[in-house]
Chain A
Amino acid sequence: MGEVEKTFISGLKEELVEEKVIDESQLDPNFAKEIKKYGGKDVMTCLQCGNCTGVCPISLKIDYKTRSIIKYCQFGLRTYTLGTRWVCATCYRCYEHCPADINPAEVMIALRHIAVREGVIPPFIKVAATNLVRYGQSVKPDEEINKIRKELGLGDIHTFSPDFKKVLREISVLIHASKYDKLIGIEDEVMV
């Protein structure tokens, strides 16, 4: 028997493994309900069979176990799930193999919703959202690439077209309407 060797990626281990002492105040009895509110299935029906961990590409790499996260969710261990929320690749292999039909990937997504509302917002979220508001796209347009586009005869990226201003305005209106700008702190970008 051999345990799967893991490449511990520098800096990540400390972030993922919290202190191991649990005291009762850490347990949130309504956590499972909260997960359901954000579109996760009922984590309480998990059989803890570990199939999700075995098929998870991330679990094979770092100290992260899909099954354990679900277990923490059952316990209501909010803080334990804190650092792990952003390493799920949403590849949905866990969903395909789960005999209890839990869809762990959607649970991870629900956890991200909760994290964002607790103010845990990784920088890349803000960057992408800002790009969307500024350019209508989550990837920032690149001058070099635009040159190549012209060489290929594809024309400017449509972001730069004057007609696209209207689209940008619509995006701003929608993001403001759902209060997303406030949620992730990009109010300055949104012009409504």
Chain B
Amino acid sequence: MTSYAYFFGCVIPNRYPGVEYAVRWVCGKEGYDMDVKDVPDFSCCPVPGIFYSTDKETWLLLATRNLVLAQDERREILTVCNGCLTSLMKASEYLKDPKSMGKVNRVLAQVGKKYTGVPKKSEGKRKVFEPVSVRHYIEVMANDIGLEAIAAKAKRPLKNIKVAVHYGCHYLRPTESRTIDDPNNPVLLDKIVEACGATSVDYEDKLDCCGAGGGVRSHVVDLANSLTQDKCRNISDVGADCIVTGCPFCLLQFDNAQKSFSKDGIPVMHVSQFQALSMGIDPISLGFDTHHVSAHSLLRKLRGA
């Protein structure tokens, strides 16, 4: 069985503790009882919109520091956020180049760390290393746990719930370093939602950006919100009951932006929260009170169903 290390990033612990609770619950004893462990020394991935955008050298140093921690634990990194995924995955990709690795290691020596990759079974005298593996929650659920297992655990299937799924850009693109899902026709999140008993509804421009990424939210919040507004219009056009995403930053954007252009808004949650709901968790534990858009309408519909 694969062993993982939780990588919650910054947004989840500091803004959406309910997501953290849901992930721990789904992966823990109540759920799939996976071999997954906390690594308390993990820092920010670091966030690609800031560090990858302004100084790749610093970005790679900080990201490698996190990779080294996972490497020393011999665990795959289980990210719950598209930003963390793209940052760490890209770093792992960069480090395949021995020159980059050497350069990074020279600096990391100052903090007593060294990136080698995870040692695999040796061929003769030569040690063989593999890059630290960085995984996304959606993909781990769909591939490692399996859709059948998800459906089997959904003891309270979310029937009659129409879900608009939002993958988030960095789950799909750029494809130069990843092939998690088809970038033009991703399916895994839809399948997880369906395995939970709900219906995933198709909507116009489903793969479009939420608007937050790349520092746009921080820089020009109106512009980011304007993109979110377009998305929400398309989503409410098909009458979705909620938005499910795999990325807490998209979640944050949908959650915060909606109050700028609508009174009620469409409830939005992380896929782990949605999954936990289908597995019969008490919604109180999902921390919906930290969300700006109330999940009330959805929960009421669930109770009715």
Contacts and interface: CB of A to CB of B under 8 A. Distances in A.
Find out whether A and B make contact in their complex, taking CB atoms under 8 A apart as touching: yes
Q: Is the interface of B mostly helix, strand, loop or mixed?
A: helix
A57 B183 CA distance: 16
A184 interface: yes
Nearest to A156: B13
B190 interface: no
Interface string A131-144: 01000111111100
Nearest to B40: A158
Contacts of B107: 174, 177-178
Contact of B175 (A38, A96, A137, A138): A96
Q: How large is the interface on A (under 10, 10 to 19, 20 to 34, 35 or more residues)?
A: 35 or more
Interface of B: 10-11, 13-15, 17-18, 20-21, 24, 40-41, 43-44, 46-58, 61-62, 65, 107-108, 110-111, 113, 169-170, 172-176, 183-184, 208-209, 211-216, 218-220, 222-224, 226-227, 285, 287, 289-290
Given A91-B214, A138-B44, A139-B14, 20 more contacts: A7-B226, A9-B223, A57-B209, A90-B53, A90-B170, A92-B169, A93-B173, A95-B174, A96-B175, A113-B54, A113-B55, A116-B54, A122-B219, A137-B13, A138-B50, A148-B290, A161-B40, A173-B111, A177-B107, A180-B55
B218 A128 contact: yes
A127 B209 CA distance: 24
A2 B81 CA distance: 38
Given A12-B220, A128-B218, A174 B17 contact: no
19 contacts: A12-B222, A87-B220, A90-B53, A91-B209, A93-B173, A93-B209, A95-B174, A96-B184, A113-B53, A116-B55, A124-B219, A125-B50, A128-B218, A137-B43, A142-B14, A152-B285, A154-B20, A157-B14, A161-B40
Contacts of A38: 56
Nearest to B225: A9
Interface of A: 7, 9-10, 12, 38-39, 57-58, 61-62, 86-93, 95-96, 103, 105, 108-109, 112-113, 116, 121-122, 124-125, 127-129, 132, 136-142, 145, 148-149, 152-154, 157-158, 161, 163-164, 166-167, 170-171, 173-175, 177-178, 180, 183-184
A22 B227 CA distance: 32
A169 B224 CA distance: 34
Q: Which 9 A-B pairs have the closest CB atoms?
A: A90-B214, A92-B173, A124-B218, A91-B209, A91-B169, A139-B10, A137-B10, A180-B58, A136-B43
Contacts of B20: 149, 154
A109 B211 CA distance: 17
A171 B53 contact: no
A58 B169 CA distance: 14
Contacts of A39: 56
A57 B62 CA distance: 30
A4 to B, nearest CB: 12
Nearest to A167: B41
A55 B209 CA distance: 11
B111 A90 contact: no
Nearest to A141: B14
Given A112-B53, A145-B15, A149-B13, A128 B47 contact: yes
Most A Cβ at <10 Å: residue of B58, B65, B175: B58
Contacts of B24: 154
Most B Cβ at <10 Å: residue of A113, A124, A154, A174: A174
Nearest to B229: A7
A100 B170 CA distance: 21
A111 B17 CA distance: 36
Given A87-B219, A88-B214, A178 B50 contact: no
Contacts of A129: 50-51
Contacts of A89: 169, 209, 211-214, 216, 224, 227
B46 A132 contact: yes
B173 A91 contact: yes
A109 B52 contact: yes
